[in-house]
Structure 1
Amino acid sequence: MPVALTAIPANMISHEISLPPFPDDVPTVPIARISYAKLASSDKDEMDKTLKAVQTDGFFYLDLMDHSLGRVLLEEAENVVNFSKEAFDSELDEKMQFRAEKGKSMFGYKPAGTVKKTDKDLRPDTTEFFNIAKDHLLGNSESRTYPPQLMQHKEELQTFTRDSHALGILVLQVLAEQLDLPSEVFADKNKIDSLSGDHIRVTKKPPHDPSQTNVIGLPSHTDFGSVTVLFNWLGGLQIQSHDPERQGEWAYVKPLPGHAIINLGDAMVKFSNGHLKSAKHRVVPAPGAQAKVDRYSLVYFLRPADDVLMQPVEKYRNEPVVSVGGKVGEEKVYTAGEWMVRRMQHMSK
């Protein structure tokens, strides 16, 4: 994997041990646990497990503690969340100076209170976040402005971007090989030096007010891009259960210390013509005592380069076309840049 870092010993990784524990009396989905070390060494059983995970639940845990580069990434993730808190703590009018231009750009600040068309109840969400473009951080394109509390840590954000991107590329290489495709067929559509929608998202959801019912952190959706790398320390993420007794019901994905949560986006459904899955998920108030504290999370979204054509790879091109969740962008072959803009414009009220 193309990463050159100094390994951090496992005993130097700090965890959020002061947070309330995840309760043991709420429904959870037992998604697969995958070893980063085994994936990096092309362990066949682990690669098989990875393909099965993204074809069933669409999500898996990735154990980062068993590999030196994984432990580096964990340390970087905690660092990014910690210095981002200062940006979130600034006044709303200050944060709004960096607001993303709705329907035109995803980069910048998004306040809580957005209504998504994907939510049939049209509930305002309760999550605020900053989206920071990979291309702005790495100098691939001219940057918009971001809060100074974030940009004074630009080097740390650049490093986290490179390392998260490399992790996403490894996942794409594994999946290509498991589908008997050239190992770089997906990776080549997601090169780090190509202009794309790749970005960091750091989020904050305030404590839940128990007097409020039917509250949503982020409504049900699938991700746009190729690979999503999530770091979270509190519950709230939910996917739909495959337990025969709870089929289709929402259940929590319990955060595991030392693990990232990986899922695929709609671009991989498009490129594989449905042989890979982009699973619906949502964010609700954290369960139990965890609902009483601020919930932070950190995401890296790996997305296809803007000039990549959104069509199946050659192996699947003669098959009947699988629609990506009945969403926009199916009537012709768009570039990834065009496809993302259309998706943004059809998501929000």
Structure 2
Amino acid sequence: MPVAAFPEFPTNVPTHPLVVIDYQLIKNGDEKEMDMLWKAATSLGFWYLKNHGAEEDVENMFDMGAETMNLPMEEKMKYEQGDEGSSFGYKAAGTNATDASGTPDKTEFINVAKDDALAWPKQARRAYPSTVNDRMESTIIPFVKKSIEINDTILSIFNTKLGLPEGTLQKLHPLDEYSGSEARTIKVPKNFPAEKQALGAHTDFGSLSFLHNRLGGLQVLPPGIDEWQYVKPVPGHAICNVGDALTLLSGGILRSNIHRVFPPPGAQASFERWSQVFFTRPENSVVLRSLSEESSMIAEAVSKLTEEAEGSFEPRGHVVRVV
């Protein structure tokens, strides 16, 4: 569905403003823009990213997702994630909890491993529905490669800002080693109760998330504020955020902020909510620890933490199964 066909985000709904970062500027080393990115990543941990060049790839991924979700449930369940801890494959609605009381989630999605996209036509991690395979070369691989390029650029900037030896963070996210990095296409049904969460409160457990929304629904809980606030979707702007892995590696300097998904507000609630995201995660053998031995900045940050605080950091949320 063309973006122009959707109702606008309601003007009377409170939102949390995000810093807008121009990807082309940070890619070309603009110091002011990189400073803005750093400030966003170390405060709220969320920001908009414009001029990223992935718009067409994202629209193609939405088409792939619609084709996949339209398959019979029996066919989709052949590629279900399973109970062994892997996130790759299909996830049906209702398999995760959105709160401590166990309320089922409303999200349905398909996850494609970075490893499978880059190994195609060989199978690296698992098999996928025909709708995924048919679009691997034309749709999925271009989106994965563009997302990797963008997130690697951001990792490089963080690496420098943290005072780490050149390439340290990139070496923890190599393309030729298996990792949990994946492309996820998400569908949330229309017209379900406004008070119900589609996806419960959580932090992302990876390093960076590169998210594209057509409709509202994403909410953040900013530091020092007790009320959840919507993040307004802006055409052509991705929403990026830091995950738990970078928070741990940076000794808490980079912020992984809690967020959740509620139904779109206002007239947008009458439409299916589609999202497209790429999660960059460290390769599987990486031990998540602060890189204090490699950076005096990180060492200083860790020294300011109490022993209890450093040892007790864990993802915050109510998701009862790894996704």
Taking structure 2 as the reference length, the TM-score comes to 0.89
Which letter maps to 2:153?
Answer: L
Query: Is residue 282 of structure 1 aligned with residue 260 of structure 2?
Result: yes
1:164 to 144, 147, 153: 147
Preserved contact between residue 229 and residue 262 of structure 1 (Cα < 8 Å): yes
- Paired with 2:311 and 2:136, the residues of 1 have a C-alpha distance of 35
- Are 1:252 and 2:252 counterparts? no
Describe the shift of the 1:323–1:129 C-alpha distance in structure 2 as closer, same or farther (beyond 3 A). Answer: farther
SS for the counterpart of 2:5 is coil
| Partner Cα distance (2:111, 2:194) in 1 | 28
| 2:202–2:318 CA contact under 8 A, matched in 1 | no
Q: Give the % identical residues.
A: 36
The CA distance in 2 between the partners of 1:63 and 1:98, in whole Å, is: 34
* Paired residues for 1:148-159 under 5 Å: 148-155=130-137, 156-159=139-142
* Residues 346 and 241 (structure 1), Cα distance of their counterparts in 2 relative to 1, 3 Å cut: closer
Do the aligned partners of 2:214 and 2:275 also contact (CA within 8 Å) in 1? yes
Q: Are 2:169 and 1:186 equivalent residues in the alignment?
A: yes
Kindly provide the amino acid, as one letter, of the partner of residue 61 in structure 1. Answer: Y
Counterpart-to-counterpart distance in 2, 1:183 and 1:16? 40
Of residues 123, 126, 134 in structure 2, which corresponds to 1:144? 126
Gap change, CA 1:303 and 1:206, over 3 Å in 2: same
Question: Could you tell me how far 1:324 is from its partner in structure 2?
Answer: 7.7
- Cα 1:213–1:256 change in 2 (3 A) is closer
What amino acid does structure 2 have at the position aligned with 1:279?
N
Matched, 1:107 2:88: yes
In 1, the alpha carbon distance for the partners of 2:311 and 2:184 equals 24
- Residue 121 (structure 1) shift: 3.5
User: Residues 219 and 230 of structure 2 are in contact (CA less than 8 Å); yes or no, is this contact kept in structure 1?
Assistant: yes
**1:218 equivalent among 194, 199, 209:** 199
Gaps of 5+ in 2: none
Alpha-carbon distance in 2 for matches of 1:325, 1:208: 39
Q: Distance in 2 between matches of 1:201 and 1:180?
A: 32
Q: How many residues are aligned here?
A: 309
User: How well do the aligned residues superpose, as a CA RMSD in angstroms?
Assistant: 2.3
Among 223, 234, 240, which residue is 1:262 paired with?
A: 240
Q: CA deviation at 1:142?
A: 2.6
Post-superposition Cα deviations, 1:218-251, rounded to whole Å, max 9, x if no partner, equal 1000001111000111000000145x7xx23111
> Which runs of 4 or more aligned residues in structure 1 lie more than 6 Å from their structure 2 counterparts after TM superposition?
none
Aligned-pair distance for 1:214? 3.3
Output one character per residue of 1:187-241: Cα deviation in whole Å (capped at 9) or x when no partner. Answer: 11111222100100000001023xx353111100000111100011100000014
Tell me, in whole angstroms, the C-alpha distance in 2 between the residues paired with 1:148 and 1:224.
29
CA distance in 2, matches of 1:188, 1:74: 28
Matched, 1:35 2:11: no
- TM-score, normalized by length of structure 1? 0.83
* CA distance in 1: counterparts of 2:248 and 2:128, whole angstroms: 32
Aligned positions of 1:194-233 closer than 5 A = 194-209=177-192, 212=193, 214-233=195-214
